[in-house]
Chains A and B, each alone.
Chain A
């Protein structure tokens, strides 16, 4: 996995609640997983509304996406993260973020930040006011967002996730270190609940 340490760049305001992953990565018969991830991001909104924030010139190379409550709810599709990454977005900041999406971010080296309401409001104001004119900086080691006017906003992250992102850890590799434990678990289940360790149709 790609490590995340810090980034600096445009913060794009998409200040809505309940943005779902169907909206972030619209898939249909002709826009499946094989398609252009860069073009997929908010494709329908981009096509349907010339004033949509991602169509505006100052938001062509964003680094930070800013939303409100319940961001990226709905489908578990990881393309929602991939198409953000394909557009250079490395950080998502929202008031709250759906669980599966947060996991998907972590697995792809994207930093998903949930801010408590007071800080979220402050940050949203900064982003709206800046309107893409100047960069915001996000630094993981110090857990701070620095606004163009120098305002600093601290954010929380679990220590283990911080390390995983900073070091770009291979999640599967970590679990595979416990392969012997997994096998021991299976051996136990084979004795105590054998029906769980086999699954064959018997008719």
Chain B
């Protein structure tokens, strides 16, 4: 009986295990090994740390790295600032029968691939695009302005792409917020800001943290949006990895960069959890 149970468990787990081992664990191990290998002058592969040293020697690499991290944190924060009022509106302000409708409205853009959405933004923002067309027609602009390929445009695109992943977890924590807590705070003399910072945000912290982790990871590892909306100036770290793999065909260097990105994101997430005094178990729930 016990044996049967164990085999049943194994049977149902095996697709997941196969997926994990064959498609994630094995390639990662291969990449890790590759990142420590180097072709020496005689054309033979040897063990070396120089792929990692290269990163620190060349300022362009680690500056891009720092820039990517800082911008990702900024994007996460901006997404939070935009998502909180949206989530609050959906859960607490609007009549319950419209809640589902609004959530679907929020989901709808995500039925279209990210690539198409980014091209949509490009049609709107480029020099000969829709917005420039109207602004010049209305006489607000003398001549069209290039709105693409700026850092601000890139951040706009990244915030837009990440919105949903912040709104959904915050909606789910705010749903469990008892309205009478807000009313009690109001009754006890609190104003809007105190209610926000003392009641709503502390209550929503688990959702905010889990949303932030997802948004941060997605932003840090995003390749498409920075590349298309930020252009050559975007200097996103994923582009460096791409260049190593595809342009320079230096897979060893590329995998070293890949692992650095993994370590970086893990450290920042860990720091974030420490700072907000949350633990991963609680957040993942």
The answer to whether A and B belong to the same complex is no
Chain A interface residues toward B at CB < 8 A: none
Chain B interface residues toward A at CB < 8 A: none
